[in-house]
Amino acid sequence: MVNRDNSFDLIRHLAALTVLFSHHHALSGLPEPMLKGYTSMGAIAVLIFFAISGLLITQSFFNTPSFYNYMIKRTARIFPALIACAFVMVYILGTAFSQKGFGFTFSLEALLDFLKVSMFGRANIGDITDDFILKDSFNGSLWTLKIEFAFYIALALALMVLRKAAVPLIMTFIFCITTYLCSESTHPLAPKFLAYSTTGIAFFVGSSLFFYREAFSGTKVKIVIAMLSAALILASLNTPLVMILASIGVSLLALSVGTLYKDRIIKSRFDISYGMYLYAYPIQQLMINKTTLSFYASMLATVVVVTALATLSWLLIEKPALNYAHRKTRTRLNAEAGA
């Protein structure tokens, strides 16, 4: 199930574009496209990211010789590109669009914003967003990264204690409970923790499926799972359990469809989906609020600019960082083998 005969790379890129499409509505002051009775298309795309991540990260854990090497890989995947994005946001875009100009560049405010974004934080970046339609953040999508990185650590620590399917299954059950509690709560923070909980469902459903990959390896089985998952999503709409059942359905649907056929477009040659996710939100904010382009023209311009930035991020930062992490792992394995 988790060899390279899948279409996960293609699905991740499509999910990144879906998030961009959905956010473009919200950042323009319009309602996001919704699956009525469930959630927005952008939120569904995020769940797809987490489900695929849960499956592949669990595989990575078992294919990596130590927790140290595992964390090197995970850190190399997340932080170099994130820090570079923070630099672009603060010191390039911040300087270009702040009313303070270079005065902002050398300010303590800029340094704090850079550090904040580099550690998954939200930042307004000076006075840039003061007149934006949605002004509370210059990059509001980073919240998913801190949750995902926390899941990386939690999963690895738990599997070091017990390398059984029970670990992700229990975590899935826990997040199902918290999802239900948050969906029924009127507390002001409930929507935020509801979003966290549904991503937990997706991530650990993906992780759980890794342990049963042989049972779900047949084409007919995958088709049945895909059909049942779609039925589960539709049947749960507008019900009290929709956030649980539909999130499970979305996760299983993405994983079963992703393993039904081999992607012949990307073929693991590149992965700019992460860079697209990093840069889409701030570029959208600028296109929507700093240009006179129409809704769809600004969306198209965003796609072009974000694709270019994501490609540069992949070629100059992400790919070299991942290659370095893999070399470190191979060197450690060779040293242990020769000892």
The amino acid occupying position 71 is M
What's the confidence (pLDDT) of residue 104?
85
Which residue ranges in the chain fall short of pLDDT 70?
1-4, 126, 331-339
**CA gap 182, 193 in Å, rounded:** 7
> Given this model, what pLDDT does residue 164 score?
95
C-alpha dist (Å) from residue 80 to 111, 149, 304: 17, 14, 22
Q: Tell which residue, 266, 258, 278, has the closest CA to residue 318.
A: 278
> Angle formed by the axes of helices 67-87 and 41-63, to 10°?
140
126: left (phi over 0), alpha (psi -120 to 50) or beta: left
Unique residue bearing structure tokens 């012949």 = 264
Q: What are phi and psi of 325, to 5 degrees?
A: -65, -40
DSSP 140: G
The CA-based dihedral angle spanning residues 197, 256, 146, 94, taken in that order and rounded to the nearest 10 degrees: -120
Rounded Cα–Cα distance for residues 234 and 228 (Å):
10
The residues, ordered by sequence, that sit 6+ positions from 251 with a Cβ below 8 Å of its Cβ are 47, 48, 50, 51, 54, 201, 202, 205, 206
pLDDT at site 127: 76
pLDDT number for residue 4? 66
What is the pTM for the complete model shown? Answer: 0.94
pLDDT at 338: 59
Among candidate residues 127, 92, 93, the one with its CA nearest the CA of residue 109: 127
